[in-house]
Structure 1
Amino acid sequence: MLLELINSNQPFQWKHFEGEIILLCVRWYLKYALSYRNLEEMMMERGLKVDHTTIYKWVIIDDPQIEKRSRKYLKSINDSWRVDKRYIKVKEKWKYLYRAVDSNGETFDFMFSAKRDSLAAKRFLTKVPKAKHNKQIGVINVDKNAAYSIAFEKLKQARLLSNECELRQSKYPNNIIKQDCFGRLRNSAFHTIDFPKR
């Protein structure tokens, strides 16, 4: 996949570094708990002088392009989802982390919101099906928060969800998400947005 991203339409032309180096740094930054200075040092150990501010620019500017190009390579998810939210601290502010996991335990999307209401639920439930790798939704399992049923009905009225789609409000199917209390998604979400850790 990385080679195809590098070769497709020369996404990194006019850059001072090879596409493979840019992809490597962006990937390591987003996947692991590394700062920009950590990556600068790691590149230096490999004989490459890259300033941490350059890596910062790659993450800010190139990451959205990489994400857009890599969408078509994502594995298709099944039609049964679990949606949950957590209240977490991000850059000294409390936010709700909405996340979606399929019945196999694969996390496939997340979103941050300042509020926990029907508008936030609607925004998240609208965002998830738009991804090309997502199949038609069959069942969405959520907790008993009333905001989900309001958002669900609005999406059905707007024909953004099919009539066959079912909303199940029960805490038990979401146990697969609850087990991830301090899990990988929350960590990766922090690394993605906590830019001041340079």
Structure 2
Amino acid sequence: MKFDVSGNPDYGHVTVELKPGETILAESGAMSWMSSHLQTRSHLMGGLMQAAVRKVVGGESLFVAEYTADGSPGSVALSPTEPGSVLHRRLDGDGFILTAGSFLACTPGIALHTRFGGLKALFSGEGAFFLECSGHGDLFFNAYGGVIERDLDGVLVVDTGHLVAWEPGLTYTIGGMGGLKQTLLSGEGLVLRLEGRGKVYLQTRHLPSLARWILPFLPS
């Protein structure tokens, strides 16, 4: 399988070239164009229970779309709903953690499982569950805006709305910006404290913040 990521950081998308017999799984509705002879079908990735959990608490679609080159090569282009960047991660038996709504596509060797972010995450406004990816294959994920990759060796405090993904070697806790007064008045609400050694991906924009900025300009 070959792929090409283009359009970053504003309107990223990925074009995947499939050899005969190769398959790519994608978030439902992500396809922007495809070769006419590719075989397509929708199915529940990981079974009904796992798919339902990803839909209800993980921010992902209940179904994933499967594109297969049957007999001859073909291509499919995939685009996320939000404008921003598309990124690639190769998994070779290791894991990777995505925030809700960041999954775009993967090869069949990748397994997706939901991870509970803790009770405080329920009140963070960003989703209480994360998506844990593991296995062997190629993973594609998306961010809103540009992406900053940081190699962390220590501690990093991140606004939960700007966190996209991180390596499982990092541990995290969710809490306020100091005391109760600072948490309420800082405008940041709850933040996520990452600690350890590993790579973390941050997005430069935050969609809920944009929605709140636009709201006063909408007609009542």
More helix by percentage: 1
Greater radius of gyration (CA) = 1
Give the TM interval when normalised to the shorter protein: under 0.3
Give the TM-score normalised by structure 2.
Answer: 0.22
